[in-house]
A and B are shown apart, each in its own frame.
Chain A
């Protein structure tokens, strides 16, 4: 299937490329998911309870008994930033190993049991956290929870399974190295953050993945999987009492304290850098970006509204209008705001045929400068706000989406009441705020650009 908008690209590709593609596309989408928080459902129906298990494990719960299933999302603060030097990719490796045998079950037995019970269980990581996603039908909840308990507490990390996963990761690295989108993004982070954990490849390098041993996997789990850095949201067909039991069973035996290596605060390198990575493809892929304010900065939400009208709002955004709608220079052009725990960035991307990619980048730069100097106009600013507030409920219409949204808030240190307050916070932002923050945010002098492909210098007047 073909779709009109890059936002839906992840649904429309084929063969193994698609899985790799999803990882790239997932980033902006994930961010959108984390920061566009909802309006209606909270007010009308959704009740978020802060609960504590008998054993003292805290979680947020949204009870909804209309379908006999539940979703639980949880995270351990840590993620790939905890990977030891020379063992980059460890956290990612662990995320692929937890369903490769646990307790008395070897990999095949464990996976068959998951399938027999139709349990959806997956793990993933970002720079800052290690995530678990658990879904079960109510009828299978007890057994599902037991499998989850085993995966987290008693993964076997057997040599044979580890070798198999290692080969898959190594293959994925080879694919990533040939994928212009992946390379552009990796090179951007490397250029922006250098030796800092954020500059490393979170799935590692051939050498670092080759160096990871089963003992490393176990060590990561022992250090990162703990109660002190654990956050949990459950949504669906489960009562507070039943959730309490489930939490104690699954997480109760974890150590109290995580042993996390401190990760220093960092900002993208300044000075404005452009790096071209030659690859023999007809279309160049470019990533651009610079530092932004942290999530807790008073200007963050204003920057978030600005991003919406700059490049985060699909067809209602300036970059799409200038690059795609007016000039046909790209299928996909976007921006996003990504606050990580120890750095924050405003970033984006575009893909344009080789002989015009530089034109696209110049257009983007000009547009960012225009917003910085003139600010947004009143109409686009109002429209961005009305989208962000009006669409908030769309983020809360399935169990998994609710769990994902709420976990994001929890990780950022907000209480459940943020969901009720969020739209009013956006409504209160004025055009003057936006103008002021645009100057602060859009630091184009320090813009870092990576281009993968065979970019050619555009001929004069090509800006059409």
Chain B
């Protein structure tokens, strides 16, 4: 349990591991999954990943749209629409979608990020056709009634309370993102700002749906005990019947101006637990980086920040004992930029200033002198192995390819990731560190516990 505090489990980290992992190594004597790709006449991209070990399939539809594509002032609509997609269509009565899947012995869910929105079912292979029909149906025939929309809006407001308002670390994280991005919409939380969420309407949702949800803006991924021919036949007869919408592909987002000033935010909160320091740097993503730059950042993060063998942990926790735990990661799975993040939880009685100095010393050291050959080799092995382990899990494979393709990467690019990782040199890592560990591109967040006030004036009720 305590060990889990060492490393931050980050959604994007998971995705990175999923999407960019693959192996070409001493252990790569076995075949990577044979991925097949084709396109329907209406422009829908299809990917099939065979895995015959178990008679089940993972069926995913990825829309190339996310929270960063929302109109200004309507934050949260991408995620809200994702919830509303489970309401009703011409053919499926209200609230029945998940119940039908469940009756068929399947599991379903969906998720929204800044760049993608994805819906999936995991189900017995003989039910694949049925869920493809249902998914195709709601791509074109969503029906929303006001009452359901309003009730669901209360649900997302509760979701926001669970995820953000009840959790000072999440509040700080949200404020850090808002500071890190000067202009780009990654600064707006995926779930939305509360005051805008409270105003979201059926019309907002339908506008977003009609604009972006179309087969030519979506990717179908099927992993599991199924052949490409079967998937093709089903896809032609389901998704293939839907018309393309030439207007569906998203527009470019506003770019950040050059970042010139280091930013700092601080949250003092009686619920904060321990004092901690967090730092994010704006860096390129795989989709925007020069060759091997993103791979170098991935390796740098693993060596410098990730886990008990990292530079950060060794210096702050083991040697200087100024922190009780540390962690960090590179999030390279964004469409427009990436983030290089780290944190440390202060040891008892240690001031955050001291923790920050130690943290900065670790970063300055790798920026000035790079990492060692042994560290680099270990980090490469680790990533390559993660990729191999992932071949055991069809749901992870579906996610790897779905996410990568949604960002415009090719199957070949996704599959060659381990080769690229292998190519990264000590100099590549050192240059990436020197170039991107730049305070001007960063925001630092301090989270400090505060003794609760003795008697608090009756705060305004959030809702009544």
Contact = CB atoms under 8 A, between A and B. Distances in A.
A95 B2 CA distance: 9
Contact of B105 (A108, A178, A391, A399): A391
B109 A327 contact: no
B11 A12 contact: yes
A92 B2 contact: yes
B56 A67 contact: no
A167 B324 contact: yes
B347 A167 contact: yes
B1 A115 contact: no
B170 interface: yes
Nearest to B172: A15
Given A2-B112, A2-B191, A397 B56 contact: yes
B5 A353 contact: no
Contacts of B7: 19
Contacts of B26: 139
A137 B102 contact: no
Contacts of A327: 151, 154
Contact of B109 (A4, A386, A390): A4
Contact of B53 (A45, A180, A280, A394): A45
A11 B109 CA distance: 12
A451 to B, nearest CB: 13
A393 B54 contact: yes
A68 interface: yes
A40 B124 contact: yes
Q: How large is the interface on A (under 10, 10 to 19, 20 to 34, 35 or more residues)?
A: 35 or more
Contact of A174 (B10, B170, B172, B273): B273
Given A137-B27, A175-B273, A14 B55 contact: no
B382 interface: yes
A450 to B, nearest CB: 16
Main secondary structure on chain B at its contact with chain A? mixed
A138 B245 CA distance: 48
B8 interface: yes
Interface stretch (A149-157, A226-234, A313-321, A335-343): A313-321
B243 interface: no
B246 to A, nearest CB: 29
A324 interface: yes
A331 B82 CA distance: 14
Interface stretch (B293-301, B383-391, B427-435): B383-391
B24 interface: no
A203 interface: yes
Nearest to A165: B2
Nearest to B11: A1
B55 A393 contact: yes
Interface string A315-355: 11000010011111111100000000000000000011111
Contacts of A39: 105
A45 B389 contact: no
Contact of A313 (B9, B102, B347): B102
A328 B200 CA distance: 15
B155 A331 contact: yes
B381 interface: yes
A2 B190 contact: yes
Interface string B347-385: 110000000000000000000000000000110011011
A127 interface: no
Contacts of B165: 281-283
Interface in A30-44: 39-41, 44
Contacts of A328: 150-155, 158
Contacts of A122: 3
B463 interface: yes
Interface of A: 1-5, 7-9, 11-19, 22-23, 39-41, 44-45, 64, 66-69, 71, 92-93, 95-96, 99, 107-108, 111-112, 115-118, 120, 122, 124, 135, 137-140, 164-165, 167-172, 174-175, 177-180, 203, 236, 279-283, 285, 313-316, 321, 324-332, 351-355, 383, 386-387, 389-394, 396-400
- Smallest CB-CB A-B distances: 6 pairs: A390-B105, A328-B154, A118-B385, A315-B98, A283-B161, A168-B2
Given A14-B8, A17-B169, A67-B388, 15 more contacts: A3-B110, A11-B111, A19-B5, A45-B55, A93-B2, A115-B381, A179-B167, A282-B161, A315-B102, A328-B158, A332-B162, A353-B462, A391-B123, A394-B123, A398-B392
Interface of B: 1-12, 14-15, 26-27, 29-30, 51, 53-56, 79, 82-83, 86, 95, 98-99, 102-107, 109-113, 122-124, 127, 150-159, 161-163, 165-167, 169-170, 172-173, 190-191, 270-274, 276, 278, 307-309, 314, 317-318, 321, 324-325, 327, 343, 345, 347-348, 377-378, 381-382, 384-386, 388-389, 391-395, 452, 456, 461-464
8 contacts: A4-B110, A23-B4, A69-B392, A168-B5, A279-B271, A351-B161, A387-B105, A393-B56
